[in-house]
A and B are shown apart, each in its own frame.
Chain A
């Protein structure tokens, strides 16, 4: 094995790093002749910076951060690409018992319906305002994150302006549960395993799986610098291929116990295999009383075309950046955002095509409400929203 094949890859300890971790720990990368060192990181800023300056060859990265890097939003402009999506969905919105009961009182229908819960939230928010009470605070993981956009999308649909009517703050995932317990936040949107941890402690109710808000949302990607992929084309291909094999392994139900065990190791995610297993099964305890909710869309690692980078998804993420004032709308911006996602490379390395199974939404996103989404005309889509930044 030559030194060229030695790779350093950064990750954040979350279940949606499964395909990457299994690729390394189950030997799929070694089979390709790659010697990979996985480096666990504590913040997305670190992962982004170390990828950008070349301390990492590749990284488990928030999809919107990959796009933001390419657009030069919020930080240094570095052309990042991805040829492999590490997962769709996987986050959940958890609320404190107090907020849950307020929402229940205000709900006109079943709270499991995101339109009902969003309208109930609007009632609660207006009530608090009328009584002169402090605004509700929602925690999310990063300004350029699906968590941020999913929360905003949901509450705005019910008439809540995420910048005016509530406070949205960034919190590192390991601090979410503690912040909910000591009432620094009233709710949060985060990935596994943190929602389950809050429910198990009896201090949170899972209100929604994010797949109830959008059927398909690209969560994390295997990100690399475009120049690195060009210069190390062979190694890059091997890495993508190995991760693809690992994603298949993760999706095979017979392997779930083994996958949960691999991920649970102290150097990887370091939580009990049983908690990881719940995420992989998409069956989560949602309330301290032991109520469960199941969804076959909870976290999708590779199945139903989840791993193939989808420019329609990139366009949706860019639309959120524009909607919430992080980016200015431009045709070039949209084109660059889409260019971050490289299905052509995926098709070449792993094989596949743009067609999604019939089970999947026609617009490739599947939002629970809102104006029609056309990835080639997001201006028209955004014009359909009342609540947005201009």
Chain B
């Protein structure tokens, strides 16, 4: 398969676009350029003159790309969205993953499919990473809340840390709630008593 196509990734998230670029390079595509700056986006794209453009669906500049469909003076050549009428499964998978793609007319379908599959799996991988990161963050937050609640209980009831924690845990079990939730109520209550 001829992998000699120019690909542009338009994404304001440097981490995600790096992951995407890496995936495309691993798949054998060497001419990959990333654009993170949205001012004069069309001019930047025309300067690179790509065969394929990939853009994150959360990027409002997607509408700017739609202008490329318009036959006008500033457009060098019309560019069409990759999917054709028959290919709703691909567009669905692509939109679900959060990426839209545009290609220059005439690019072979199997090649596009290969590029898009790579992108979709990379976008999904990024979403999983993001998810893990969010979970780690919220675990850290919970940790902090529980620590604060323990401190409040230790002071108010003159008990040690272990006793404070087991009190939180017991209450959580009795009320069928998470420890962090009970800890948050302790903090809220303590603030009201201030």
Q: Chain A residues in contact with chain B, CB under 8 A?
A: 42-46, 49-50, 53, 55, 74-77, 141-143, 163-164, 167, 169-175, 179, 182, 184, 325-326
Contact = CB atoms under 8 A, between A and B. Distances in A.
A142 B92 contact: no
Contacts of B67: 143, 169-170
Given A172-B61, A172-B63, A45 B100 contact: yes
Contact of B64 (A49, A77, A170): A170
B62 interface: yes
Given A75-B81, A143-B67, A43 B62 contact: yes
B38 interface: yes
Nearest 8 A/B pairs, CB to CB:
A172-B60, A43-B62, A74-B69, A170-B67, A42-B60, A43-B63, A45-B62, A143-B70
Given A42-B58, A169-B42, A142 B95 contact: no
A328 to B, nearest CB: 12
B72 to A, nearest CB: 6
A220 to B, nearest CB: 15
B64 A171 contact: yes
B39 interface: yes
Contacts of B72: 163, 325
Nearest to B78: A74
Interface in B72-100: 72-74, 81, 83-85, 88, 91-92, 95, 100
B39 to A, nearest CB: 6
A390 B61 CA distance: 30
A74 B73 contact: no
Contacts of A173: 60
Contacts of A44: 63, 66
B81 A325 contact: no
B174 interface: no
B176 interface: no
B42 A174 contact: no
A74 B91 contact: no
B69 to A, nearest CB: 4
A31 B95 CA distance: 32
Contacts of A76: 81, 83-85, 91
Contact of A42 (B59, B81, B88): B59
B40 A184 contact: yes
Given A46-B57, A77-B85, A326 B91 contact: no
Interface of B: 38-40, 42, 57-67, 69-74, 81, 83-85, 88, 91-92, 95, 100
19 contacts: A42-B57, A43-B57, A43-B59, A43-B60, A45-B65, A45-B100, A46-B62, A53-B88, A53-B92, A53-B95, A77-B85, A141-B63, A164-B73, A169-B42, A170-B63, A170-B64, A175-B60, A184-B40, A325-B71
Contact of B60 (A74, A77, A174): A174
B95 A172 contact: no
Q: Most chain-A CB neighbours within 10 Å: which of B60, B71, B73? A: B60
Contacts of A174: 60
A33 to B, nearest CB: 29
A49 B91 contact: yes
Contacts of A326: 70
A198 B61 CA distance: 20
Nearest to A325: B71
B78 to A, nearest CB: 9
A57 B84 CA distance: 22
B64 to A, nearest CB: 5
Given A75-B81, A143-B66, A326-B70, 14 more contacts: A42-B59, A42-B60, A43-B62, A44-B66, A45-B63, A45-B100, A74-B66, A75-B69, A76-B83, A143-B67, A163-B73, A164-B73, A179-B39, A325-B71
A53 B96 CA distance: 11
A49 B100 contact: yes
Contacts of A49: 91, 95, 100
A172 B71 CA distance: 20
Contacts of A182: 39
A13 to B, nearest CB: 11
Q: Most chain-A CB neighbours within 10 Å: which of B62, B63, B74, B83? A: B63
Given A45-B100, A53-B91, A172 B74 contact: no
A170 B61 CA distance: 9
A264 B24 CA distance: 42
Contacts of B61: 43, 172, 175
Contacts of A42: 57-60, 62
Given A45-B100, A49-B95, A143 B60 contact: no
Contacts of A46: 57, 62
